[in-house]
Amino acid sequence: MKAFHPLARLAVTAAVLVILMFCRSVTAAAVGLVTGLCCIGLTDGRKSLLKWLGASLLTAFAMAVIDPLVSHRGMTVLLFVNGRAYTLESMLYGLELGLSLGGVTVWLTAGRRLISEREMLCMMGRLSPKLALTVSMTLGFIPRLAETQRRIRDAQRGAGLFADNSPTGRMGEAMAVFTACAARAAENAAGAARSMNARGFGRHRLTYSDRRKLRRADIILTAAEVLLTAASLVFAALGGATEFYPALKFGRYEPALAVICGAAGLPAVISLAKEVIEWKLYLPKG
């Protein structure tokens, strides 16, 4: 998938996420979950695939069981809990919610495998170099702050302070360490400002140089994903979504939505599968 521009990869991920979140179709949710799991299996291996499959099914099952306890709509009453109806429709609605939630989580994870932090910054830098710099500085600042916080806490404990593990003792420690961290962050900010000045910050328009050209294949894939997303929203609006109440009824364009959802995620699956096959069959042999 790395052969494609990060924008095209972002388009694939975003298209599936939009379909899963806004189309509310049980079949599309299932298809989206399956393609997402395929991506994770192809990037992270079988162990990770099984882990995510188990977690997604567990989420779907839990939602299917819990939803009828809070929503009592639907015609097919399975049983009564505390005098309230526990319906099949509500259960299926919960299942669809669970599948969508699982699919979204899986695709967010797959998205992180498909597009790196740097590539996201790179795309952001194209739109706004200053915003990309701010994000990059923040990403650098957070681990440094966490490390400073750990160091200061260790230094205090190593010098005999905050040995008391009571809630008030810990609160006192947290406040003292936080204050010291804030002072250190201000000191470090002065250092960073000096470093930025020393390297010419603010004297010229900022260039964002970490760019990659969009090729024809990237443009085609991005355009296709945009079209598929638009089509899915249109179909959903025209009656593609599954209706659960009063009785389960598949939407008129539900098969089309499932196909669109599959088609949106398929380029990632095909591309990743091709890479796996190439690695397995050809590359090790030179």
Residue ranges in 199-253 assigned as alpha helix (H): 216-235
Q: Considering beta carbons, is residue 160 or 286 the nearer one to another protein? A: 160
Q: Considering beta carbons, is residue 117 or 278 the nearer one to another protein? A: 117
**Interacting residues with another protein (CB under 8 A):** 118, 121, 129, 133, 136-137, 139-140, 143-144, 147-148, 151-152, 154-162, 172, 176, 179-180, 184, 187-188, 191-192, 194-211
Report in angstroms how near the CB of residue 145 gets to another protein at its nearest: 10
Q: Considering beta carbons, is residue 129 or 255 the nearer one to another protein? A: 129
Report in angstroms how near the CB of residue 134 gets to another protein at its nearest: 11
Q: Considering beta carbons, is residue 177 or 260 the nearer one to another protein? A: 177
Half-sphere exposure of residue 148, counting CA atoms within 13 Å on the CB side?
18
Report in angstroms how near the CB of residue 204 gets to another protein at its nearest: 3
Q: Considering beta carbons, is residue 10 or 181 the nearer one to another protein? A: 181
Report in angstroms how near the CB of residue 112 gets to another protein at its nearest: 15
Report in angstroms how near the CB of residue 61 gets to another protein at its nearest: 29
Report in angstroms how near the CB of residue 126 gets to another protein at its nearest: 10
Q: Considering beta carbons, is residue 46 or 204 the nearer one to another protein? A: 204
